[in-house]
Amino acid sequence: MKCGHVCDSRYLPDLQYRSKCNGRGVRGITNKPFLKDIPKFVKMVEVGPRDGLQNEKNIVPTSVKVELIRRLVSSGLTVVEATSFVSPKWVPQLADAKDVMKAVHNMEDARLPVLTPNLKGFEAAVAAGAKEVAVFASASDSFSKSNINCSIEESLVRYRAVCAAAKELSVPVRGYVSCAVGCPVEGAIPPSKVAYVAKELYNMGCFEISLADTIGVGTPGNTLQSTLSLLRNKVCGLSGAKKKKVCGLSRKQSLLAFVLRFCFLLMGISTVDSSVAGLGGCPYAKGASGNVATEDVVYMLNGLGVKTNVDLAKLKLAGDFISDHLGRQSGSKTAIALGRVTADASKI
């Protein structure tokens, strides 16, 4: 194989790095039949301000959350999950959802969906200026009861009410299926259960369905089984303006997370969820290993010649901003490596 110029953020002779994709990457490989189905563009869904911060023990000031969202949008991310309208009793970190939403709802060039667990949450979100919402159902009954205090079926009843109200107001609804691979209580989740929940969300009107490997136990085999189950059951298509979309989401912070994403790319899936600086982890999922870092995903996609329209340098700065506030190192391997490159270059 002959390789062309790889579009990535690797070390260059002058210790500089590219922060944007030039559209070539491994697409320059001469013999690449296995890459022919990789999308030319991938939409990144940033979940850091909501899922990333919800498990932080120390309350993050509203102003910091708003600034984080602003920086993420400035980096080129067009979908940033801003907050969640849940009971402060269950998630104290997001008690300021109303204030956050009012501060960012008119932000241009970005969609800022919020999580709404029930009709009350939906109404509060809309009143605060939310223009897009998300609902989160589980493929595990045990996890559903520990996470939102109701069974799968009870949660679906709630979400039908949310979707009906959203339809009347022309508010788009995105659907999540948590524990799409495994559950901390029930173990492996049958693909048929994932397909059932996804199909219910599809029938409610969710325009996009995200599969969440909540505790990070996914492998190419079991994750692809869940995805293929959706296709076999005609739950959704992989792309197309008039088709509902399914997008892959893995929460494991490891090399395997990128292997899974590469498998999804080969299937033509072109939407990926991630969290800046690797923030996050569900507070109700014992053993959850956290979210994969957005910086690392963008770096990988750049190397494949897949465009995201995200400026990696600006994204890194957003990750550094929130990591500095939290008083710890970024969870992004890419951010750490690029920080060392900059530090080394300053010594020359």
* Cβ count within 10 A of residue 125: 29
* b/e burial code for range 286-319 (CB count within 10 A of at least 16 → b): eebbbbbbbbbbbbbbbbbbbbbebbbebbbebb
Residue 236 is among the residues annotated as catalytic for this protein: no
Cβ-based neighbours of 329, under 8 Å, separated by 6 or more: 323, 336
Q: Which of 21, 206, 263, 282 is catalytic?
A: 282
| Residue 86 CA, distance from chain mean position | 19
* Terminal alpha carbon distance of the chain: 36
Residue 26 is encoded by which pair of tokens? 């491994």
C-alpha–C-alpha distance, residues 48 and 327, integer Å:
16
CA distance 101 to 124: 10
For 109, phi and psi rounded to 5 degrees?
Answer: 65, 20
- What are the backbone dihedrals phi and psi of residue 116, each rounded to the nearest 5 degrees, phi first? -130, 105
Rounded distance, CA 100 to CA 85, Å? Answer: 11
Q: What DSSP state is assigned to residue 256?
A: H
Count other Cβ atoms within 10 Å, centred on residue 199: 17
Burial code (b: 16+ CB inside 10 Å, e: under 16) for 48-80 equals bbbbbbbbbeeebebebbbbbbbbbbbbbbbbb
Residues forming the active site: 282
